[in-house]
Structure 1
């Protein structure tokens, strides 16, 4: 009578435990939470539509929402890329598990007892990975790292989406008040040259005479109160408020340099003065030190690459 040799129980346990480890890594360990909106959640397209409906009420682009939307879209692209790498990494580790399961003697005997331990604890210990072959160790480590990266990107996306939704809700709540203020601004008689004879020539930068009456009034009041360490620029050819004379840049340094401590403090004073008097003056938004103020709150601006683009060397003020 022919008998089948008994299988090595420790070898079987080792091979199956490795499969269990990989299963834990593939499906059991915390991974990326779903970033797609559920039935009761908004998505960026819905928020964009709501923002577009608000633009007329706020007399133009909602620059804060545009910044957050850009970060949301970048996070979505990043998540898609990292999840693609995660899928590839999972496939590689799955191959390791399959090979070890089919070949019960393929493991170093020194690993048999180790593989009988708790899978999650075993592979959370970096020392354990050193017992594996280098290629296998690197593949499993890559899976763990990529899984964590995907979770971090997904969490960042959820945070940006929450910020975007909160911003739109705040703007919608203020909509009627803003519309009433804009109507009042349109009825006011603003002096065409409020600072004539009192503004030094050294303060008059590019496009000075092209500012609208309201923006000129804001500009001149600030210059007369705080001075101007560098020329103030207003009208220029651009797609933003500068292009229609509704914005001026109050320079705190030249050549793209970080301002001195004194001028940095001055820029902060100017931005705060514009905030404190926003309703009276008709200030639409302010940009200073990579932040945007609009409708009562500050929002971080995405990094645009240098001190000027990030508004560290000047305070940008736009008017209605």
Structure 2
């Protein structure tokens, strides 16, 4: 016959198991419910982006090619998705560790405070609870604070992603609403065939290049046809880069002024010259959807068009 003292450990173990399960489950609920987003876009997002990408491809073909503004929005959405995936990976790892912490603390004899805190009905505030911070060791409390930060960052990343998708939908709708205007523009400036004997640029691009060079040149260099990187209209001879500094360096005050004047002239004379869009200082002005718009950060002076004015023609 077992004595009362011999039955106590088993009884304690039995009573601890439900509380332990509650602690571990509560940690999972806490981390996933406090504003986290899935590692990848959910099926609704996937279908939404698939539809938008198809619309961009159709518009790109029908509206004179290379809708750089919409493609820049696509790039921003891809970056936002990648940020979500990385945050989710960190969050998953932290969540597992905290679940192990809760189990370890309880099994080593810690009493109810942690379980009560973790099982709180208010998971948004549980990570700030002083009783939890005092209940775990200092390194564990730091991990809990790290999770709180990850939860907040994941929520912000999700909101940023949704905002970018919403903006892309608006841009597509705006462009489609100007269908007659854009088609008239395309009819007026029918795309020209690539040429030979002129460096591969089209006659229209050559005219724009010469006109701007006469007005504002000489430039350090003007680059037109290329096939490397993301060639955009460069590959078809319908774009030139008017450099205002070289070597990937930020331009001087006079160089910036030259770029400003070149970009302003191109926009003001776009209808006369057949210019499709202008990019300067991480902004784009597309004649099919007028107005300057900030572009995504590509990570460098040249990639963000701070050292040159990009001009594309129809």
- Pair in the same fold by TM > 0.5: yes
Q: Does 1:213 align with 2:168?
A: no
Greater shift after overlay, 48-57 or 160-169? 160-169
Q: 1:221 to 1:96 in 2, by over 3 A?
A: same
Q: Normalising by structure 2, what TM-score?
A: 0.75
2:160 aligns with one of 153, 156, 177: 156
2:284 aligned counterpart, secondary structure: strand
Deviation at 1:130, TM superposition (A): 5.3
Residue 240 of structure 2 is matched in structure 1 by 248
CA distance in 2, matches of 1:311, 1:97: 51
Structure 2: gaps (5+ residues):
none
2:301 aligns with one of 297, 301, 307: 307
1:158 aligned counterpart, secondary structure: helix
Deviation at 1:97, TM superposition (A): 3.8
* CA root-mean-square deviation: 4.0
Deviation at 1:230, TM superposition (A): 2.3
Q: Does 1:182 align with 2:182?
A: no
1:310 aligned counterpart, secondary structure: coil
1:233 aligns with one of 223, 237, 240: 223
Q: 1:183 to 1:159 in 2, by over 3 A?
A: same
CA distance in 1, matches of 2:126, 2:169: 42
Residue 124 of structure 1 is matched in structure 2 by 128
CA distance in 1, matches of 2:117, 2:191: 81
- For these two proteins, the number of residue pairs brought into alignment is 293
Q: Does 1:268 align with 2:260?
A: yes
Contact kept? 1:208, 1:234, Cα under 8 Å: no
Q: 1:147 to 1:287 in 2, by over 3 A?
A: same
2:80 aligns with one of 75, 79, 86: 75
Deviation at 1:252, TM superposition (A): 0.8
Residue 42 of structure 2 is matched in structure 1 by 36
Q: Does 1:222 align with 2:212?
A: yes
1:92 aligns with one of 90, 97, 101: 97
Q: 1:233 to 1:24 in 2, by over 3 A?
A: closer
Deviation at 1:167, TM superposition (A): 1.6
2:62 aligned counterpart, secondary structure: coil
Contact kept? 1:96, 1:136, Cα under 8 Å: yes
Q: 1:234 to 1:143 in 2, by over 3 A?
A: closer
1:45 aligned counterpart, secondary structure: helix
CA distance in 1, matches of 2:298, 2:125: 43
Deviation at 1:213, TM superposition (A): 1.8
Q: 1:69 to 1:285 in 2, by over 3 A?
A: same
Structure 1: gaps (5+ residues):
193-206
Q: Normalising by structure 1, what TM-score?
A: 0.74
